Structure 1
Amino acid sequence: MFHNCPLCLSPSHDFEFKGEFTHCSACDLIFRAPKASFTGLGEKKHYLLHQNGPHHDGYVSFLRRAIDPIKSHLLPNLQALDFGCGPGPAIKYILQSYQISCDSYDPFFFPEGIKNEKYNLIFATECLEHFHDPQKEIVKILDLLEKGGLLSIMTDMHQGIGRFPDWYYVKDPTHVVFYSLNTMIWIADQFGIKLIFTDQKRVCVFEK
């Protein structure tokens, strides 16, 4: 049982409950307690089952959704970070054609992947839904982003807790937090960043 929202820290009187899911009315985040069998090594083993990497054309094409909106900003010699890249970092592979150097960080697979104090570009694709402590992780990401830099994220945005029972995104037991477009707007306001693009479904780009 959560006593505070893991993103905005609002107390439980702002919560709406539906089964194992909790909705925070303050920031519109929906979250659930991580299952004990899918934390630590169990979580890592689950990620190793994913067919995600630079040699999977479908996945590379999927990730381009986070890159296409900022193509005009992709200049040679910029420093990028793929935050939460998983076992097969693909953003680094895609950015090679733009002559952009990209570090790959993942707490399970590349824990030493952060090489610079600041980055021009940070990508966080299909990882925000895995954050057990989303506020802490977002602060960490923004601390690594230089002023004027861009953060491009991908996570499927929810349409309300009432639609959860049939939503494919909740079937993955490692998905523990779910954001809406309203949550993204809240993040922009609270963290002092500007939401400069969204497809209103999965992709959001912020400028610091």
Structure 2
Amino acid sequence: MPTCPLCASTETPHFYHDSRRVYHRCACCDLIFVPAEQHLGPEAEKAVYDRHENSPDDPGYRRFLSRLYGPLCKRLAPGARGLDFGAGPGPTLSVMFEEAGHPMAIFDPFYAPDVAVLERRYDFVTATEVAEHLFAPGQEFERLSGLLKPGGWLGLMTKRVTTRESFESWHYILDPTHVCFFSEASFEWLANHLEMHVEFPASDVVLMQKKSR
């Protein structure tokens, strides 16, 4: 059985398959994932992202992001500094936070690959529609947790797995760049592993707070 990319367990039996891919489910952290040999290569992956047409000038996209922006903004001190990780080709959430007085850095491996921003510490880090794309989510969330100051917030947006029946007909698995699918139990495992507190303000929003020392 393949190793779970979140918790490194090898208890990952076959969960489901369709005409394109196989999906395994981890018995430890409940992550459902596509094995590495079925991931897209970098060029094919970027070609999918290049078709995204997100923009801060799009009020509909702003409304979508407000599902995370609203609850997270309420928890931040004035002037809190943030990083938008996986900002994509049309960074927008960072613009929304800057408009509210929060200085922002952005990082994206394809569109804003300045690794210098990953050497700083932040009051909050956001990753919207990113978790489902991560090839190595365990490593990436360790890194994001390390970028947070004590008491800092990690704000995520990703749709969550509920039932097997809904998974089999779920539009989310049709995107070839989506390779990891989290349930609420997956995020509870992650929060415990990272020693963070976790909240679920909406069906596709997760807030995790690093413990203060």
**TM-score where L is the length of structure 1:** 0.91
Bigger Cα displacement from structure 2, 125-134 vs 58-67 = 58-67
Matches for 1:41-60 after TM superposition, within 5 Å: 41-60=43-62
Matches for 1:143-182 after TM superposition, within 5 Å: 143-182=146-185
Tell me which amino acid in the other structure corresponds to 1:107: P
Counterpart among 91, 94, 111 of residue 93 in structure 2: 91
**Deviation string, structure 1 residues 74-99 (Cα, Å, up to 9, x no partner):** 34322100001111111111012211
Structure 1 residue runs of 4 or more that deviate by more than 6 Å after TM superposition: none
Tell me if structure 2 keeps the 8 A contact 1:103–1:113: no
Question: C-alpha displacement at 1:139, in angstroms?
Answer: 0.8
Tell me which amino acid in the other structure corresponds to 1:11: T
Match of 1:18 in 2: 16
37 and 131 in structure 1: CA distance in 2 versus 1, 3 angstrom threshold: closer
Equivalent-residue separation in structure 2 for 1:160 and 1:24 (angstroms)? 15
Percent sequence identity is 33
SS of 1:38 mapped into structure 2: coil
Cα RMSD of the aligned pairs, angstroms, is: 1.8
72 and 201 in structure 1: CA distance in 2 versus 1, 3 angstrom threshold: closer
SS of 2:78 mapped into structure 1: coil
Stretches of structure 2 lacking an aligned partner (at least 5 in a row): none
Equivalent-residue separation in structure 2 for 1:34 and 1:124 (angstroms)? 22
Bigger Cα displacement from structure 2, 25-34 vs 83-92 = 25-34
Tell me if structure 1 keeps the 8 A contact 2:122–2:152: yes
Question: C-alpha displacement at 1:110, in angstroms?
Answer: 0.6
Aligned residues: 205
Stretches of structure 1 lacking an aligned partner (at least 5 in a row): none
